[in-house]
């Protein structure tokens, strides 16, 4: 449970997100137009809303799988050590794969996951992140598609949490603490 009181200021509306997903899905469908079945891999848990909306906009045959890498726990700082908590169900050798991330922050999570999946020899491996905080980057990685670049703010909503809260907000909002600490 967060210990400090906070409010959430809307940063990206549900309408803006939907419009951007429509644009991105056209580019993705083009990139994978020669694919008979795309494997869309959601990184749990933050991407679950994004992947649900994205695959419904994709005019392609898709299979959906999930992978969970360790993340922040209940703190607001990223850890450099990335562990796989839940692996894919299916093999991806020779397959076309799209990895779906909620936010690329330091980039360590996506960097690690990409290394792991590349070693399994997919035919094509691409990445999409709903949000990117480029000013926070530590690992040498950039998603192939990004929904929105944002400043260094802690955000919630649309699948993204603060200490497991606020994932069910339909928009992306930034956390603003209302005490002095
Ligand atoms: P990275 O490894 O530092 O790029 O961190 C990626 C993960 O940290 C994301 O998938 C999120 O789960 C989490 N994260 C990064 N920034 C935020 C934020 O502003 N709010 C909530 N979670 C975040």
Indicate whether residue 112 lines ligand 1 (CB < 6 A): no
Question: Rounded to the nearest 10 degrees, what angle do helices 14-31 and 48-57 cross at?
Answer: 60
Question: Domains in the chain, please, with CATH?
Answer: 13-151 (3.40.50.2020)
**pLDDT at position 76:** 52
**pLDDT at position 2:** 63
Q: Is the peptide bond before 45 cis (omega within 30 degrees of 0)?
A: yes
Asked whether the beta carbons of 175 and 155 are under 8 A apart, the reply is yes
Strands laid side by side in the 172-177 sheet: 6-12, 172-177, 155-156
Indicate whether residue 154 lines ligand 1 (CB < 6 A): yes
Tell me: the pLDDT tens digits for 136-146?
Answer: 999 999 999 99
Token code pair at residue 63: 């299979």
**pLDDT at position 22:** 98
For the entire predicted model, the pTM comes to: 0.94
Tell me: the pLDDT tens digits for 57-68?
Answer: 999 999 999 999
Task: Report CA(180)–ligand 1 centroid distance (Å).
Answer: 24
Task: Report CA(34)–ligand 1 centroid distance (Å).
Answer: 32
State the catalytic residue, choosing from 96, 102, 105, 161: 105
Active-site annotation holds for 105: yes
Give the pLDDT band of residue 82 (cuts 50, 70, 90): confident
Residue appearing with tokens 């056209």: 26
- Cα gap 36→101, rounded to integer Å: 23
Minimum mean pLDDT range among 8-22, 71-85, 116-130: 71-85
Give the pLDDT band of residue 70 (cuts 50, 70, 90): confident
Q: Are strands 172-177 and 6-12 parallel, antiparallel or unpaired?
A: antiparallel
């Amino acid at each position: 449970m967060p210990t400090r009181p906070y409010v959430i200021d809307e940063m990206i509306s549900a309408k803006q997100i939907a419009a951007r997903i429509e644009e991105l899905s056209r580019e993705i469908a083009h990139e994978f137009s020669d694919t008979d079945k795309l494997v869309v891999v959601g990184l749990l848990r933050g991407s679950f809303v994004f992947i649900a909306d994205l695959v419904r906009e994709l005019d392609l045959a898709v299979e959906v799988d999930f992978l969970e890498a360790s993340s922040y726990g209940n703190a607001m700082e990223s850890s450099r050590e990335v562990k796989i908590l839940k692996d894919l169900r299916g093999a991806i050798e020779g397959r076309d794969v799209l990895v779906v991330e909620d936010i690329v922050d330091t980039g360590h999570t996506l960097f690690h996951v990409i290394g792991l999946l590349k070693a399994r020899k997919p035919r094509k491996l691409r990445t999409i992140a709903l949000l990117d905080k480029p000013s926070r980057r530590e690992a040498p990685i950039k998603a192939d598609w990004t929904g929105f670049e944002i400043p260094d703010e802690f955000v919630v909503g649309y699948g993204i949490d603060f200490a497991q809260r606020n994932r069910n907000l339909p928009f992306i909002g930034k956390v603003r603490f209302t005490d002095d600490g």
